[in-house]
A and B are shown apart, each in its own frame.
Chain A
Amino acid sequence: MAVAEQAYSLRGDRRSRRRRFANTAAEGIALAAALTAIAVLATVVLSVARRGLGEISVGFLTEDLPLFGQPGGGIAPLIVGSALLVAIATAIALPLGVLTAIFLTEFAERRSAAVIQLTLDLMAGLPSIILGVFIFGLLVAGHTQSGYAGGIALSIVMLPLIARSTQEVLRLVPTSHREGALALGASRWRTVVGVVLPSAFGGILTGTVLAIARAAGETAPLLFATSIYANTVTFDPTHALPNIPVQIFIWSESADPNDHKRAWAAALVLLLFVLVTSLLGRAALARSRKKLGQ
């Protein structure tokens, strides 16, 4: 008996040792890959924080843009302009995105739904510089740059994101809720407006927040639509609106080291906004999905 047990022992087998080694190596490589990604994230965030933090002051956040070659100045016009651009984009993309999602989940038959979904996915995959070129050709060429043009460009970035995320939460609303409302004699539109949309509200909101986080950092769609602007705070979207991403781009291409410092500080403001917003959006999304999924 003792002899037989020894023969079946797994420990001494060279083949099993090799298999175990391959397993450990593969697990180690996967761990190393994950750590690499996190190290890159930490390096980028810390670089921006280290270089930007020293430049940020109350004056930097509240003053007008510096005139060319002058020291000092601030980014107040950029913050206001970026907020306006994102607000315009949201005002366009949110209703359109939600309506499109309602059409997809409540009305469309399979084939037309497939076509529209494919369109949305292709739209989401468009190189964003193409949007810049498109908006230039549509609204800027022959006219002037404007905040509206920039806002519309950003709305094309946001639309597929909002439509797809809304569609996902609408799908999670149980069919029994719709059937219940219909069985009580409610019409289709009352069911959608009174039952489906309210229970998906949280999900739609968080999807929108995530789209805002994405749009706030987009540079390419704005590059030809709203990039030549005054250095003061502007609220008028019929003129070009100063904005953070384009200004970081301009400063990063400059040869003046002072402009590089400003670029780092503006990048820190943008990065903080984008990371915090998308972190909050993600957390809320996970929660609302869980709630609806039950």
Chain B
Amino acid sequence: MAAVSSIPATQVLGGTQRLRDRFGDRLLFLLTLLASLLAIGAMIAIAYKVFHGAWPAIQDFGLAFLTSSAWDVNKAAFGALPGLYGTAITSFLALLIAGPLAIAIALFLSELAPRAVRGVIGPLVEMLAAIPSVVLGLWGILVLGPFVAAHVEPWLSKTFGFIPIFSGDPNSSGIFIAVLVLAIMIVPIVASICRELFLAVPRELEEGALALGATRWEMVRGVVLSSSRPGIAAALILGLGRALGEAIAVTQVIGAGWWIHKSIYDPGDTLAGRIAAQFQGYSSNEQLSSLFYLAAILLVIGLVTNLAAQLIVRRFDVHRAGAR
């Protein structure tokens, strides 16, 4: 009887507590879900706002915008071609310089350097990524630009002048300075991703290669590099994405010329650079909308490169996990 009479009491107690718990669980779930949906909503809002602002220009110019070199506020004629060219050549050349350098740094930090040295050099390389782009741009325009124009570009044009892009007169602000600044920005990004990749290569494979008599370099080439190839590609694409989208430092050093010159010492402009330079002081609605159009192009390019890199990373991770 006593046992029976105690049952309702515990049920009542358990009932209110359970109610509170169920409410709390539900609330936490809803809050976290809402926050997550907000992130997705923000991405959609970003795409919507950019394309909404670009819509008048998209209607006016259509796809011909992509192949036109015009940028005349008075005639309301605008085109993206010089910016597309500038964006492509600056990021491509920056990647060409930064890619091998970053991979070599990552190999040094993951495979070659003694542990104590890694602990010092690793964080220093990552510090390079922490330098704000506006500071790097300031350095680029006031220190690097004049130095390169005085010492590097004359030598380059004398030695490689037979290649059209390396011919021409030195210039302390231009495409080439932008390339160097962008390369500095993407080295630490690519290096730190690659280092993680190389560290994840199974130890047994590396030791196996060494035990078979391979030198360190042969082990690195045959085991580490070849098994991380997709990841390296993803890291390079992420670095490329960063270079494509950089606006501030590029605007500071590139010299703002809406044209396509064959010499990379000459000023030029990128999509992001033109937006940063002209958005604030726009003088007509057509110009503002054209700048939004540039932003829309940049958004699409940025999303596509990042998506490609993320998909490679994800597939690669699955493969790794499956192999283990």
Contacts and interface: CB of A to CB of B under 8 A. Distances in A.
A116 B39 contact: yes
Contacts of A169: none
Interface residues of B, number: 90
B121 A129 contact: no
Given A133-B295, A275-B127, A122 B135 contact: no
Contacts of B24: 187-190
Contacts of A130: 46, 50, 245, 295, 298-299, 302
Q: Which of B27, B139, B280 has the most CB of A within 10 A?
A: B139
B128 A37 contact: yes
B40 A23 contact: no
A220 B126 CA distance: 21
A282 B107 CA distance: 21
Given A138-B49, A263-B138, A274-B130, A156 B42 contact: yes
Interface in B86-134: 100-102, 104-105, 107-109, 112-113, 121, 123-128, 130-134
A248 interface: yes
Contact of B275 (A36, A102, A122, A133): A133
B200 interface: no
Contacts of B125: 34, 37-38, 41
Given A34-B105, A102-B32, A271 B252 contact: no
Interface in A196-251: 213-214, 216-220, 223-224, 227, 245, 248-249
Contact of A278 (B21, B39, B130, B307): B130
A190 B121 CA distance: 43
Interface in A152-188: 156, 159-160, 163, 187-188
Contacts of B199: none
Contact of A36 (B21, B101, B138): B101
A96 interface: yes
A273 to B, nearest CB: 10
A99 B45 contact: no
A248 B135 contact: yes
B53 A100 contact: no
Contact of A190 (B21, B32, B131): B21
A1 B316 CA distance: 53
B101 A33 contact: yes
A119 B39 contact: yes
B217 A99 contact: no
Interface stretch (A59-67, A70-78, A104-112): A104-112
B228 interface: no
A148 interface: no
A30 B28 contact: no
Contact of A40 (B123, B128, B191): B128
B interface SS class:
helix
B303 interface: yes
Interface string A9-39: 0000000000110110111011111101110
A26 B238 CA distance: 25
B280 A223 contact: yes
Contact of B217 (A26, A100, A189, A252): A26
Interface in B200-242: 215-218, 220, 238, 241-242
A114 B217 CA distance: 37
Closest A-B pairs by Cβ, 5 of them: A127-B245, A217-B132, A103-B32, A187-B21, A99-B35
29 contacts: A22-B217, A22-B218, A23-B216, A23-B218, A25-B217, A31-B112, A31-B113, A37-B187, A48-B138, A95-B35, A106-B32, A107-B29, A114-B314, A115-B40, A121-B310, A123-B39, A125-B242, A126-B245, A127-B247, A130-B245, A130-B295, A133-B292, A134-B46, A137-B53, A137-B292, A213-B130, A252-B134, A252-B138, A253-B252
Interface of B: 21-22, 24-25, 27-29, 31-36, 38-40, 42-43, 45-46, 49-50, 52-53, 100-102, 104-105, 107-109, 112-113, 121, 123-128, 130-139, 141-143, 184, 187-188, 191, 215-218, 220, 238, 241-242, 244-248, 252, 272, 275-276, 279-280, 291-292, 295, 298-299, 302-303, 305-307, 309-310, 314
Interface of A: 19-20, 22-23, 25-27, 29-34, 36-38, 40-41, 44-45, 47-48, 95-97, 99-100, 102-104, 106-108, 114-116, 118-123, 125-134, 136-138, 141, 156, 159-160, 163, 187-190, 192-193, 213-214, 216-220, 223-224, 227, 245, 248-249, 252-253, 260, 263-264, 267, 270-271, 274-275, 278-279, 282
